[in-house]
A = this chain, B = another copy of it.
Amino acid sequence: MSAAALNARLAAEHPAAARCLSPLGARLYFPRGIPVQAKEAAACAYNATIGQLRGPDGHAAPLDALRRLVPALDADQSFLYAPQGGLPNLRDRWAARLAERASPGSAPLSRPFVTSGITHGLSLLADLFVGPGTEVLLPSPCWDNYAQVFGTRSGGILRSYSALSPEGFSVEGFAAAVGALRGPAVVVLNFPSNPGGYAPSAAEADQLVAVLTAHPGPLVVLCDDAYQGMVWDAERPPHSVMHRLAAVADPERLLVVSTDGATKELFYFGGRVGFVTAVLPGGGGAALEEKLTAAIRVSVSSVSGTAQAIVLAALDDLALLAQREALHADLAARWARLRDGLEAAGVPAWPFNAAFFALLPAPTDAEELRHAFLKDGLGLVSAAAGPNLRLSYASLQLDDIDPVVEILAKRLAR
């Protein structure tokens, strides 16, 4: 479909999404090039379209020096080009995972679109929705790469609000910042948060959703759900705010879209398998998918089939759930030990209950403190915002927690 036809279709199906397209997002379309023509020739006796090798049986014929390294993987999935959007079975498998978490009354979701890790999902969405001058609302503090992706790379104007309060998420700060946005704009949510390690309560999540649905739009609400489900405080909702938004979002005003993936959820950091999923089914979802297809074709063309095959096989492994739960229990134990240890030692911390992190207010310059802790044998990450120090307890063993708290207490105890 031409860019103009695609934009018209999106406008008809989801006006907010269409109005939020960046100049690049509006230009992008997927030409009827080699991947389309190869598909059309799939039934031919002789399919001489595509520049990849297959064996006489029509399947992948990898060199044995590579094949012997992954004998358990499907060779076609692992060695041939994966389609733009990802392996079909993997997309369906991920869709089923998301569907299990849907809130009552949720609108259907688009088919998950595979990206080369979660950063890639963010950058593809930035291609579509952030151009020079687009306002992008980020929490403060936030993952430092957001500023690079949405600001340095895409030219967006970064807005910010303090997301932290001693009680939890600062709904007031968020409401004021959203209220000041003149759409089209992008709002980035990140729960469980990095670097905060915070997941909102059900009440906070409801308030946050109310703030967004009260905005006249058009807004793209981008839920960075990298740490989806990793909420250690059992009284908090474990799933993404996206599902709550899916129950109330209005296509005239809000496009809700999430990035998530195997990076943290399957602890497959090096794999680079992420997903982009929107609250946008049917024709609108197809139009958005064609925009994403165009954007991925010009960035990485397709996502590693080997990594996708590993994620798919793992998701189909009945043993996966128990393995993940054991690791979750381990992380929850580290979290509880750290929380209790910091409290006992009188080390102040922002509320934390999820993901991998605790965020500690820095009483002096965060960079200076970070260097002091390096000399103590403890590596932390400094965040200028605050200033604060981020501690990743995922990188520590359970037995490390007590000595680490001791080191922290010497410089940070009240």
Once bound together, how far apart are the Cα atoms of A33 and B142, in whole Å? 12
Of the residues B27, B152, B297, B394, contact of A52 by C-beta under 8 Å? B394
Does A209 reach chain B (CB closer than 8 Å)?
no
- B48 x A392 contact (CB < 8 A): yes
CB-CB under 8 A from A302, the residues of chain B are 117, 270, 272
Encode A288-315 as 1/0 by CB contact (under 8 A) with B. Answer: 0000001001111111111101110110
Say yes or no: is A182 at the interface (Cβ < 8 Å to chain B).
Answer: no
Cβ-defined partner of A270 (8 Å) among B45, B77, B153, B323: B77
Let me know if A228 is at the binding interface, CB within 8 A.
Answer: no
Q: Is the CB of B324 within 8 A of A63?
A: yes
The answer to whether B51 and A145 touch across the interface, beta carbons within 8 angstroms, is no
Residues of B within 8 A of A179 (CB): none
Binding site for B on A (CB under 8 A): 24, 27-29, 31, 33-34, 37-38, 40-42, 44-54, 56, 60-66, 68-70, 72-73, 77-82, 116-120, 123, 127, 144-145, 148-149, 152-153, 194, 264, 266-272, 294, 297-307, 309-311, 313-314, 317, 319-320, 323-324, 327, 355-357, 370, 374, 377-382, 390-397, 400, 403-404, 407
Chain B residues closer than 8 Å to A314, beta-carbon distance: 63, 65-66, 69
| Residues in chain B near residue A327, CB distance under 8 A | 53, 63
Kindly provide the distance from the CB of A411 to the nearest chain B CB, expressed in whole angstroms: 14
In angstroms, Cα B309 to Cα A303, docked, is 16
Asked if B152 and A28 sit within 8 Å, CB to CB, the answer is: yes
> Which A-B residue pairs are the 8 nearest by beta carbons?
A41-B379, A270-B305, A119-B301, A45-B377, A47-B379, A65-B317, A33-B144, A65-B320
> Please, which residue of chain B has its CB at the minimum distance from the CB of A76?
B270
Contact B310 A307 (CB under 8 A): no
A315 to B337, CA, bound (A): 45
B304 touches A116 (CB 8 A): yes
Residues of B contacting A56 in the complex (Cβ-Cβ under 8 angstroms): 397
CB distance from A381 to the nearest CB of B (A): 5
The residue of chain B having its C-beta at the shortest distance from the C-beta of A380 within the complex is B48
Q: A38-B379, A69-B72, A271-B306 are in contact. List 8 more A-B contacts (CB 8 A).
A: A28-B152, A45-B377, A48-B379, A50-B392, A53-B395, A65-B319, A120-B299, A270-B305
7 A-B pairs within 8 Å (CB atoms) are namely A44-B374, A48-B393, A48-B404, A66-B310, A117-B300, A300-B300, A304-B306
* Contact between A271 and B304, CB atoms less than 8 A apart: yes
The complex places the Cα of A396 from the Cα of B389 at a distance, in Å, of 58
Q: How far is the CB of A282 from chain B (nearest CB, A)?
A: 26
Question: With A and B bound together, what is the CA distance between A282 and B240 in angstroms?
Answer: 47
Tell me whether B356 and A51 are in contact (CB under 8 A).
yes
CA distance A345 to B314 in the complex (A): 52
A45 CB contacts on chain B under 8 angstroms: 377-378
Q: Find chain B residues with CB under 8 A from A400 CB.
A: 46
Question: What B residues does A397 contact at CB under 8 A?
Answer: 56
* Docked complex Cα distance between A227 and B307 (Å): 24
Q: Are A294's CB and B392's CB within 8 A?
A: no
Contact (Cβ within 8 A) A268 B66: yes
A324 proximity list for chain B (CB < 8 A): 63
**A24: which B residues are within 8 A, CB to CB?**
153
Distance between A196 CB and nearest chain B CB, rounded to angstroms: 12
What residues of chain B lie closer than 8 Å to A53, measured between beta carbons? 267, 269, 327, 394-395
Taking a contact as CB atoms under 8 Å apart, the answer to whether A298 and B148 are in contact is: yes
Check A40/B374 contact, CB under 8 A, given A301-B145, A314-B66. Answer: yes
A304-B397 Cα distance, complex, nearest whole Å: 26
- Name the distance in Å between A332's Cβ and chain B's nearest Cβ: 13
A119 cross-chain contacts in B, Cβ below 8 A: 297-301
